[in-house]
């Protein structure tokens, strides 16, 4: 079984994010594999261990993105591909991924259901559309049998079981597995594994972003709450006045 894993490099979840001149100040911030994409890497490795085959990780990004790909290689992935396209939006990223994997033999594409930095949750869905493949999102349990994927996914108030033929695109949610830590042996072996870098020119792709980020800013600080004292009838009247005149919600 040949499995592709799409991953993204994001800021460490414990990093303190600071803004400077309308942009995120990345100086001194540690970068990691998007945690939901780590679930995808781990699931791919488990499937490989059970069924044989090969795991290839792929990412669209800058030179720095190699760090995340090397970490996935250290976890046990066999190959990695970096599509060099810094600051691409969801549209351009999906186009670049689709172009990069066309012609490759794979049974399954895995990825995280969302990235913790922008929370867009679009890439895997867009990629499935580009490749004309079925897709199942927010999967917490995955079984592969007889050329089919049986997926348990979260829905509001319960779970849903979906069966889809391979190849397919599946996004992973917390609870699917517990990602392994790279061993010292894995880290050393990762240095010798293939990490292929591809430019857009090599792909023969010309694509522009559809979204332009003009400014990044923090939401305004919330004001302190108010305590309305007095008898119930008087307090209710004052509450209505505040909601109408100050909060302007009624």
Q: What is the 3-state secondary structure (H, E, C) of 36-49?
A: HHHHHHHHHHHHHH
d(CA 81, CA 75): 15
Quote the distance between the C-alpha of residue 107 and its chain's center: 20
Least confident of 16-25, 81-90, 200-209: 16-25
The answer to whether 10 touches 29, Cβ cutoff 8 Å, is no
Average pLDDT of the chain is 91
Element (H, E) at 152: strand 148-155
Residues in a beta bridge with 25? none
Given a cut of 90, whether residue 150 has pLDDT beyond it is yes
Six-digit token pair at 147? Answer: 């050329």
Domains and CATH numbers, the chain: 2-203 (3.40.50.620), 221-250 (no CATH)
Q: Is 188 exposed, middle or buried (0-12, 13-18, 19+ CB in 10 A)?
A: exposed
Pairwise CA distance, residues 88 & 115, whole Å: 14
pLDDT of res. 118:
85
12 in helix, strand or coil?
Answer: coil
- Classify the phi-psi angles of 147: left when phi > 0, otherwise alpha if psi is within -120 to 50, otherwise beta: left
Q: Are strands 168-172 and 194-199 parallel, antiparallel or unpaired?
A: unpaired
- What's the whole-number mean pLDDT along residues 26-39? 88
Helices 35-51 & 66-75 angle (0-180, nearest 10): 40
The burial of 116, by beta-carbon neighbours within 10 Å (0-12 exposed, 13-18 middle, 19 or more buried), is given as middle
Instruction: Work out the average pLDDT over 130-134.
Output: 96
Tens digit of pLDDT for each residue in 192-242? 999 999 999 999 999 889 988 888 887 888 878 888 888 898 899 999 998
The mean pLDDT value for 131-141 works out to 96
Collapsing DSSP to helix, strand or coil, 176 comes out as coil
Can you give the pTM of this predicted structure? 0.84
Q: Are 40 and 154 in contact (CB under 8 A)?
A: no
- Say whether the peptide bond before residue 227 is cis (omega within 30 degrees of 0): no
Does a cis peptide bond (omega within 30 degrees of 0) precede residue 167? Answer: yes
1, 54, 163, 166 from 144: Cα distances, Å: 10, 15, 10, 9
């Amino acid at each position: 079984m040949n499995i592709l894993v799409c991953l993204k490099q994001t800021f460490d979840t414990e990093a303190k994010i600071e803004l400077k001149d309308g942009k995120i100040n990345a100086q001194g911030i540690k970068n990691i594999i998007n945690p939901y994409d780590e679930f995808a890497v781990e699931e791919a490795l488990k499937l490989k261990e059970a069924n044989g085959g090969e795991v290839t990780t792929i990412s669209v990004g800058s030179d720095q993105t190699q760090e995340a790909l090397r970490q996935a290689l250290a976890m046990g992935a066999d190959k990695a591909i970096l599509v060099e396209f810094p600051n691409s939006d969801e549209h351009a990223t999906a186009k670049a991924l689709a172009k990069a994997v066309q012609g490759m033999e794979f049974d399954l594409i895995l990825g995280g259901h969302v990235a913790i930095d922008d929370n867009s949750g679009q890439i895997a869905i867009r990629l499935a559309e580009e490749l004309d493949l079925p897709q199942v999102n927010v999967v917490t349990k995955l079984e592969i049998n007889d050329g089919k994927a049986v997926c348990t996914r979260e829905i509001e108030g319960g779970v849903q079981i979906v069966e889809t033929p391979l190849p397919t695109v599946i996004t992973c949610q917390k609870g699917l597995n517990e990602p392994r830590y790279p061993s010292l042996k894995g880290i050393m072996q990762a240095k010798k594994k293939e990490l292929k870098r591809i430019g857009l020119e090599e792909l023969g792709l010309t694509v522009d972003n559809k979204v332009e980020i003009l400014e990044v800013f923090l939401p305004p600080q919330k004001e302190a709450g108010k305590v309305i004292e007095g008898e119930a009838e008087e307090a209710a009247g004052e509450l209505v006045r505040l909601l109408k005149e100050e909060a302007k919600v009624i």
